[in-house]
């Protein structure tokens, strides 16, 4: 078997595994059983398909930019969590309201057992947050 033929077979295998997984929705275990290999082999083939450009992952949602910014903030400042609120307009009241809503949601989700919360800086944005916290 020639090197080129081996390359074509290998590429076809990568395409087949990627298609079964990403398009048809098969699990790695199901693909492994079909191809008579182990699940870790399928995992490596899927990674190889990404590495050689057969598979590209795109997230089609406008909020991906805020998610990427949150990750950058967490990495840069060694944070466990960050929330970036998308701009909902240029009017400062709209921005404050959006930040207040996001802050209230974050606190209600993450601070369920807290009896006290200390805040070192405030203003009208803090007032918006307080308005939206359900007690």
Domain housing 87:
64-132
Query: Has residue 56 been placed in a domain?
Result: no
For residue 25, pLDDT over 90 is answered with yes
For the entire predicted model, the pTM comes to 0.55
Query: Mind listing the pLDDT tens digit for each residue in 41-83?
Result: 999 999 999 999 999 988 887 788 889 999 998 899 888 888 8
More reliable by pLDDT, 121 or 38? 38
| Residues 72 and 116 placed together within one structural domain of the fold | yes
Choose among 61, 48, 57: nearest CA to 16.
48
Report the percentage of the chain scoring pLDDT > 70.
78
| 41 and 88 belong to one structural domain | no
Judgement on whether residues 23 and 44 belong to the same structural domain of the protein: yes
In a domain, 69, yes or no: yes
Domain count along the chain: 2
Q: 72 and 108: one domain?
A: yes
Residues 71 and 127 in one domain: yes
**Residue 57 domain-assigned?**
no
Mean pLDDT throughout 3-26?
A: 89
Average pLDDT over residues 16-45: 97
Distance CA 135, CA 132 (A): 9
Task: Give the span between the Cα atoms of 105 and 120, in whole angstroms.
Answer: 19
Residues 76 and 127 grouped into a single domain: yes
Q: What local confidence, expressed as pLDDT, does residue 77 receive?
A: 87
Q: Which of 5, 18, 16 is nearest to 49 (CA)?
A: 18
Same domain, 43 and 76: no
Q: Is residue 36's pLDDT more than 80?
A: yes
Model confidence band, residue 35 (pLDDT cutoffs 50, 70, 90): very high
């Amino acid at each position: 078997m020639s090197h080129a033929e081996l390359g074509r077979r290998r590429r076809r295998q990568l395409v087949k595994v990627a298609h079964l997984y990403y398009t048809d929705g098969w699990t790695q275990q199901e693909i492994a059983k079909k191809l008579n290999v182990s699940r870790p082999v399928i995992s490596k083939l899927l990674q190889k398909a990404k590495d050689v450009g057969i598979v590209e992952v795109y997230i089609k949602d406008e909020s991906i930019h805020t998610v990427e910014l949150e990750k950058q903030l967490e990495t840069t400042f060694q944070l466990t969590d960050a929330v970036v609120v998308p701009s909902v307009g240029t009017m400062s009241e709209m921005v404050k309201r959006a930040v207040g809503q996001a802050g209230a949601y974050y606190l209600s989700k993450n601070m369920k057992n807290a009896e006290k919360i200390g805040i070192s800086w405030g203003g009208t944005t803090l007032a918006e947050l307080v308005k939206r916290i359900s007690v």
